[in-house]
């Protein structure tokens, strides 16, 4: 059996598209179960989930404490499948999604972490300038088109489309509840952080190009304000991924001093902010968005570096 696990917070508008897609997938021989966790939604997400409860093998849970990783961890004790497929509430799996994953798992019994392709599903055609202004993959969580089946860096297996052998969870690994989408903060990359720890514990990865889903990209996600806020989150995640392999010794190893980031980043942030204002003043809004995204990326990196430095200093003071 494959267990499909997902968390939702105010996913009322996209959940029907996800579950309609799940109704149309080709089932693996061992069958499926779906565990959906409502994570403190204030809309009608739970009503949407209940509408599908008699059409799919669906278990509904609630985790009122905000935090996607809290919700995922709450689901894990209920998992019965040997394979656990993770996805999001704004994703539509392709019909062969689980069949492809099942074949990959059978062909590579020594692999415990599997990633698949995340393609875009645009609610409206994206403006042509978008592809020149922001990094599409990082901004919208889309996998690179050049990524082929085979061993893969754990940082390239993303939460919208990944599968884990249950034995990883049985060994005690859980998602870090201090990162990921949560109330008051949102640092991307919570699943990649989990993957990195799993690989450090001896578990191997595989990328399965045949396992594909589509990420629903809504119209508001093409607005400049949303794009630039996303740049901040991408920057925080990049800092965390740079920091993680060093085992908490980033400042010493990088030689960046007490704040964990190179000083040129601070200069770059403010340079991009000023150039963005200048571009807007001279009537070039597209260039203004590009520069603001870069500024927010560096701001996010610096914010996360400062946060990690604070944690490190607290740890030193307590020992």
Q: Per residue of the chain (319 residues), give pLDDT as tens.
A: 999 999 999 999 999 999 999 999 999 989 999 999 999 999 999 999 999 999 999 999 999 999 999 999 999 999 999 999 999 999 999 999 999 999 999 999 999 999 999 999 999 999 999 999 999 999 999 999 899 999 999 989 999 999 999 999 999 999 988 776 655 555 566 788 899 999 999 999 999 999 999 999 999 999 999 999 999 989 988 887 777 654 444 444 444 445 567 788 889 999 999 999 999 999 999 999 999 999 999 999 998 888 777 766 665 666 5
Task: Find out whether 275 and 294 touch, Cβ atoms under 8 Å.
Answer: no
- Secondary structure class of 40 (helix, strand, coil): coil
What six digits make up the tokens of 117? 């392709």
What six digits make up the tokens of 285? 């809004």
Q: Are strands 2-8 and 83-86 parallel, antiparallel or unpaired?
A: parallel
Burial 138-149 (b: 16+ CB within 10 A, else e): bbbbbbeeebeb
pLDDT at 307: 77
- The strand pairing partners of 60, in sequence order, are 36
């Amino acid at each position: 059996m494959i267990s499909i696990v997902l968390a939702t917070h105010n996913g009322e508008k996209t959940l029907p598209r996800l579950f309609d897609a799940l109704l149309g997938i080709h089932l693996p021989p061992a069958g499926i179960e779906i565990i959906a966790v409502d994570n403190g939604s204030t809309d009608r997400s739970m009503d949407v989930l209940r509408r599908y409860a008699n059409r799919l093998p669906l278990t509904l849970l609630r985790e009122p404490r905000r935090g996607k990783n809290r919700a995922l961890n709450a689901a894990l004790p209920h998992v019965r499948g040997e394979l656990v497929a993770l996805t999001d509430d704004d994703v539509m799996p392709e019909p062969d999604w689980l069949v492809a994953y099942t074949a990959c798992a059978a062909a590579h019994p020594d692999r415990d972490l599997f990633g698949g392709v995340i393609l875009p599903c645009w609610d409206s055609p994206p403006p042509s300038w978008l592809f020149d202004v922001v990094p599409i993959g990082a901004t919208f969580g889309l996998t690179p088109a050049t990524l082929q089946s085979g061993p893969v860096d754990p940082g390239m297996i993303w939460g919208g489309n990944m599968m884990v052998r249950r034995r990883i969870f049985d060994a005690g690994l859980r998602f870090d509840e201090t990162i990921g989408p949560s109330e008051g903060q949102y640092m991307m990359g919570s699943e990649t952080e989990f993957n990195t720890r799993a690989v450090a514990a001896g578990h191997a990865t595989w990328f399965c190009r045949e396992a594909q889903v589509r990420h629903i990209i809504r119209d508001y996600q093409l607005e400049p304000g949303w794009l630039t806020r996303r740049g901040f989150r991408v920057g925080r995640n990049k800092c965390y991924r740079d920091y993680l392999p060093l085992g908490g010794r980033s400042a010493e190893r990088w030689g960046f001093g007490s704040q964990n980031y190179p000083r040129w980043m601070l200069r770059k942030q403010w340079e991009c902010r000023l150039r963005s204002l200048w571009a807007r003043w001279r009537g070039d809004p597209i260039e203004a968005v590009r520069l603001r995204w870069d500024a927010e990326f560096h701001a996010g990196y610096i914010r996360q570096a400062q946060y990690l430095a604070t944690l490190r200093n607290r740890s030193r003071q307590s020992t």
